[in-house]
Amino acid sequence: MHGGPPAGVWAAPGRVNLIGEHTDTSEGLVLPLALPHTTLAAASARGDGLLRLDSADAPGGVVELRVADLAPGAVAGWAAYPAGVLWAMRAAGLPVGGASLHFTSVVPTGAGLSSSAALEVATASALNDLYGLGLAAERIAGLAQRAENDFVGVPCGIMDQMASACCTAGHALYLDTRSLAHRHVPLDLAAHGLRLLVIDTRVTHALGDGAYANRRAACERAARELGVPTLRDVPYAALESALTTLAALADGPALCRRVRHVVTENHRVDEVIALLDAGAVRAIGPLLTAGHASLRDDFEVSCPELDLAVTTANASGALGARMTGGGFGGSAISLVPEAAADAITTAVTEAFAAAAHLPPRIFSATPAPGAHRLPIDPATPA
């Protein structure tokens, strides 16, 4: 497709989130880590004003678009993500033109592991280098989020794109999604005799289906009722008085549940960070499980398969477990003692079989690096 070797190959990872779920749409705190699973973009600049896209993972062949014609709503399917990135860069006034991008990915799609962000960030990283833009990783994440919000039409927060662009190997990313200030928090689970299991329920979720937008809108409405810019501005100590204010509204009970989740979840992120900073990794387990209960009961974004993964892991020796990502399917994570990992994997697999669910896909996650250009010269034969 390039008429020659690509100019380079860029990689961007998927992620899991350790804690801080459904807080980024309220400018809250999150703690994701990058997965070793990446999306690769083999890419070259083009001088003919065309964007030529194809993916080893998507049927349908090459998608060819005129850069000058890119507009929200003009591109459907997977190609909207990379096309949206190029559109967002040009809308920001950046001097970017045509490109050929060939993708291949091992980030599971629809599994709550940020395959969309990986695709966007791989595209943005490639265009950044091909056109010599010199953008910082935070800026790449912001452009990728703009592509998803305004071109694809999914009102996601910025956690996934920041994780894919900014994470470093061996660390989780403690991120304030309001200021984008972040700190790389060491997470050497093996040194503590632990593992982080990812349990992909294989219930496919789609953030574009309305429930995500509905939760975000409820949080924005609650903030308006409370007279604050976002729910980030409701301190943990002020939660009860906020709930009293909201309870009087017609839809008060539902709004109270949403607010209680966001405010307590921000607090849990701070508690987890304090424990990690103190080297008390095992002690974060109950906070993960409390986060799951809050997502299930208050934010109402879990599903039976995620609940079963969490309860089974915890009943089989896990230190804690929770859904991760947007929910309504996708994946759970579980912090487990190394010695119990196999037994927990078996127990979850058997519980899914007994409930007649699809067999889950279970793997261990170690914190991997964020987006980068591969140190290879594609023009040189191996």
Residues acting as catalytic residues: 160
- Judged by CB under 6 A, the chain residues 190 through 219 that form the site for ligand GLA are 207
Is residue 325 a contact residue for ligand GLA (CB under 6 A)? yes
* Binder of ligand GLA out of 22, 37, 182, 296 (CB under 6 A): 22
Is residue 24 a contact residue for ligand GLA (CB under 6 A)? yes
* Binder of ligand GLA out of 19, 21, 201, 256 (CB under 6 A): 21
CA–CA dist 156, 32 (Å, integer)? 15
Strand boundaries in the chain, DSSP class E: 8-17, 29-30, 32-46, 50-55, 63-66, 98-105, 171-176, 182-186, 194-200, 320-324, 331-337, 361-364, 372-373
Side-chain half-sphere exposure of 197, counting CA atoms within 13 A: 35
Could you tell me the smallest distance in angstroms from the CB atom of residue 135 to ligand GLA? 20
Find tokens 């010599």 and name the residue: 132
Is residue 28 a contact residue for ligand GLA (CB under 6 A)? no
Binding letters toward ligand GLA, positions 109-148, x by CB under 6 A: ----------------------------------------
CA–CA dist 299, 329 (Å, integer)? 14
Contacts of 96 (CB under 8 A, 6+ apart): 86, 89, 90, 127, 131, 133
* Binder of ligand GLA out of 19, 40, 43, 156 (CB under 6 A): 156
Is residue 329 a contact residue for ligand GLA (CB under 6 A)? no
Q: Which is nearer to ligand GLA, 54 or 176 (CB)?
A: 176
Within a 10 A sphere around the Cβ of 114, how many other Cβ atoms?
A: 33
* Binder of ligand GLA out of 6, 10, 19, 25 (CB under 6 A): 25
Q: Which stretch binds ligand GLA (CB under 6 A): 151-159, 185-193, 312-320, 342-350?
A: 151-159
Q: DSSP states of 285-314 as a string?
A: HHHHHHHHHHHHHTS----HHHHHHHHHHH
Is residue 305 a contact residue for ligand GLA (CB under 6 A)? no
Pairing mode of beta strands 194-200, 320-324: unpaired
Applying CB under 6 A, the residues found at the interface with ligand GLA are: 21-22, 24-25, 156-157, 159-160, 207, 325-326
